[in-house]
Chains A and B, each alone.
Chain A
Amino acid sequence: MQSSTILPLVAVSIMIAFLPASTVQAGAMDPGEMLSASCAGCHGTDGHSPGAIPDISGKSADFIRISLQDFRSGERESTVMGRQAKGYSDEEIRLIAEYFGQQK
């Protein structure tokens, strides 16, 4: 009796473990989205800028990552972006780049 109750639960646990991360995380913001939400304050929702601020929607993850690293180091000149980029670690820049790389 005991084993017949436990076994399906174990099976279900294994099934849950193999569900894609997005299903398990539905309803919570993932770390990349949290970091990227701030970008919209200047670049527009998901990077769609209607005005003078560069539109970063649809850019590849590599483009975003390299740009942010270059702004942060000062290799690429900017007005505000360099000051902002200094607030993010390599790992955070990777998460931001990945997020924008997935948006349309």
Chain B
Amino acid sequence: MRNLTRRNFVRMLGTVGAASSVLGWPLVSLAGKATGRVVIVGGGFGGASCAKYLSRLAPGLEITLVERDSKFITCPFSNAVLGGLYDIDFITHGYDALQKAHGVKVVHDSATAIDPGAKTISLAGGSTLPYDRLVVSPGIDIQWGAIDGYDQAASKVMPHAWKAGSQTLLLRKQLEDMPDGGVVIIAAPRNPFRCPPGPYERASLIAHYLKQAKPRSKILIYDAKDKFSKQPLFEQGWQALYPGMIEWISESEGGAIESVDIANMTVHPTFGDPQKADVVNLIPPQKAGAIAHAAGLNGDGAWCPVNQRTFESTVHPGIHVIGDAAVANPMPKSGFAASSQGKVCAAAIAADLSGQDMPEPSYVNTCYSLVGPDYGISVAMVYRMGESGIAAVQGAGGVSPKDADHAFRKAEARYSVGWYQSITSDIWA
């Protein structure tokens, strides 16, 4: 209602402005040209996509991207770094193009507080940025303590590696240092969490490394769920490439981890025997990134409720939340989905700040997973707004065929790398 009123008001002003200038009054037309200050917090798949597409769409806007790090290291393809297929440079991206080619002002700082009433955001460096529209795209934070004994100190011993960077390198080093015949535990969380197929791709590419370097080793996946993304395809791939190396323990079989003992490198499931390992990759439960919680954008939950057409927060008007932090199911918490949401959000903001209607939103997700360097699988979906929010288009999307031949899996592995190069160039180049 508020938006409609505002939009109509701007339209009216625009008509008067256009008429007035023809009549000789030096008024500037307001309708049709988006003006204002947009601040975007978080330069990952969601925030950086939103910044780039907003600048393409509405060059008149003053767009500021607030990002803590000078370079962004992606979670997509971090499993390929763990498996030794690529080094960390392959998944590291900078902000030069956004600044130089797209006119986005990039501020490397951390957002500490949002004042929705005053429409300002405070940064750790001490400055305060005013905004007309704010986009919050902070990704995930770990729910420290949700698993007994798993805190930030524990993550230096049992890395989660669910934010790419130093945690990725730490886990890779532990894999390189472990003995042949050792045990690797990957603990996967309950839904919803970032990158649903991620833990299983990780098991696959760690197996790829171990098969060459430490072939007597074993990977145990302790899972807090009874089924997982692309499960039949992963299991088929494990059988084909790494027979006997990966064992999946479902929640019903005692797969949910209740506590960890870092001194003894042991995990304790909710029932069944404790398990000792040489390397423990503990992927804990997650929640929306810190700034979203600091601003109360999460409401009563772990994630932020939004109007799924515009991604405007249902808690604080004028603030949009996109990517992993937002409640956007049935879209998964993936980099592709975050980027798609960033573009829809850009369309919503450009329309609103120019007093126009946004087009009917269209959302897409495509998630490739590598089971091996020449063995790719995928899941895809197209989404539209349904009556009660984002809905998958019936008859579209789905996973790779179960009966595909080697050439098909190999093509999907090639396209997986091609997808990564395309999406990262679409966002950071």
Contact = CB atoms under 8 A, between A and B. Distances in A.
Contacts of B425: 44-45, 48, 50
A83 interface: yes
B62 to A, nearest CB: 14
**Would you call the interface of chain A mostly helix, strand, loop, or mixed?**
helix
A27 B423 contact: no
Given A38-B362, A41-B364, A49-B422, A27 B33 contact: yes
Interface string B361-390: 111101000000000001011100000000
A34 B354 contact: no
Interface residues of A, number: 40
B364 A16 contact: no
Given A29-B359, A30-B359, A86-B397, A51 B421 contact: yes
Contacts of A87: 364, 381-382, 393, 396-397
Interface residues of B, number: 58
A46 to B, nearest CB: 9
A53 B414 CA distance: 8
Nearest to A39: B364
A88 interface: yes
B32 interface: yes
Interface of A: 8-9, 11-12, 15-16, 23-31, 33-35, 37-38, 40-45, 48-53, 79-80, 83-84, 86-88, 92
Interface string B181-214: 0000000000000000000000000000000000
B415 A79 contact: yes
Contact of A88 (B32, B33, B57, B382): B382
B357 interface: yes
Contacts of A29: 57, 346-347, 350-351, 358-359
B306 interface: no
A40 B412 CA distance: 18
Contacts of A88: 382, 396
A37 B382 contact: no
Nearest to A87: B382
Interface in B40-86: 53, 57-58, 60
B364 A38 contact: yes
